[in-house]
């Protein structure tokens, strides 16, 4: 029975399968995609957007340039001396590998340093999304930079000292 199967395969291929030599290798991906570099975003157009977090509101404008930051007329290091806040603000540009490709102009008010840094990050991400949506959006969305953090401080209620803190209870 096995002899019949081997004879049939030899008859189908015309030669003995053991004598065949592989001369060409193929891969599943085409050769064109291997030689073509990955499409990288370029700083070609200006963009503007608004970012909000907690009580902070940031109006962000990006312009193709050298990577200079101006936040309320000051440099990034002067406005956000904390390295963590500088890193938060720069994240969208780092994820897209656009460090130094855009000049960023920011007007921010309200809230504290942490909220302002979050607002600026959202504004930068939204403006980059507006520049080239089909290329930048998937990366920014996956990193979570396009969703607004809607958490805000809870309001103070009547009869309480703060939003939830009640005055000390005294039995007598």
pLDDT tens track for 10-34: 555 555 555 566 666 665 555 454 4
166 confidence band (pLDDT: 50, 70, 90): very high
Q: Would the pLDDT of 1 be above 50?
A: yes
Residue 89 lies in a domain: yes
Average the pLDDT over each of 4-8, 54-58, 113-117 and give the range with the smallest value.
4-8
Residue 119 lies in a domain: yes
Residue 12 lies in a domain: no
pLDDT given for residue 37 in this prediction: 47
- The pair of three-digit structure tokens given for residue 54, joined into one six-digit string: 């907690």
- The rounded distance, in Å, linking the Cα atoms of 110 and 30 is 53
Burial grade of 116 (CB within 10 A; 0-12, 13-18, 19 or more): buried
Mean pLDDT of the chain: 83
Residue labelled with tokens 């109006």: 59
- What are all long-range contacts of 152-157, with beta carbons under 8 Å and residues at least 24 apart? 152/54, 152/55, 153/54, 153/55
Question: What's 123's domain CATH number?
Answer: 3.30.230.10
49 confidence band (pLDDT: 50, 70, 90): very high
For the full predicted model, state whether its pTM sits above 0.75.
Answer: no
pLDDT given for residue 27 in this prediction: 59
- Average of per-residue pLDDT across 69-93: 94
Residue 154 lies in a domain: no
DSSP 3-state assignment of 99?
coil
Helix axes 133-143, 113-131, angle to 10 degrees: 150
The set of residues, in sequence order, having a beta carbon less than 8 Å from that of 86 and lying 6+ positions away, is 76, 77, 80
Residue 113 lies in a domain: yes
What domain range includes position 111?
Answer: 47-143
Q: How many whole angstroms from its chain centre is CA 130?
A: 13
Residue 109: φ, ψ to 5°: -150, 160
The total number of structural domains in the chain stands at: 1
pLDDT digits (tens, 9 = 90+) for 92-139: 999 998 888 899 999 999 999 999 999 999 999 999 999 888 888 999
Residue 90 lies in a domain: yes
- The rounded distance, in Å, linking the Cα atoms of 70 and 48 is 14
Residue 16 lies in a domain: no
Q: Would the pLDDT of 88 be above 80?
A: yes
pLDDT given for residue 31 in this prediction: 47
Residue 53 lies in a domain: yes
């Amino acid at each position: 029975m096995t002899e019949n199967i081997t004879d049939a395969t030899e008859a189908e291929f015309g030669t003995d399968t053991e004598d065949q030599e592989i001369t060409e290798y193929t891969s599943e991906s085409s050769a064109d995609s291997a030689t073509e570099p990955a499409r990288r975003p370029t700083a070609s157009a200006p963009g503007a957007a608004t970012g909000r977090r907690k009580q902070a509101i940031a109006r962000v404008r990006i312009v193709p340039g050298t990577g200079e930051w101006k936040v309320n007329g000051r440099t990034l290091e002067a406005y956000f001396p904390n390295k963590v806040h500088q890193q938060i603000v720069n994240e969208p540009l780092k994820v897209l590998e656009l460090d130094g490709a855009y000049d960023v102009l920011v007007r921010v008010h309200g809230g504290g340093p942490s909220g302002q840094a979050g607002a600026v990050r959202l504004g930068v991400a939204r403006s980059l999304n507006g520049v080239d949506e089909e290329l930048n959006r998937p990366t920014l969305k996956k990193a979570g930079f396009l969703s607004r953090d809607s958490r805000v401080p809870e309001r103070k209620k009547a009869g309480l000292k703060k939003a939830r803190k009640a005055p000390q209870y005294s039995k007598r």
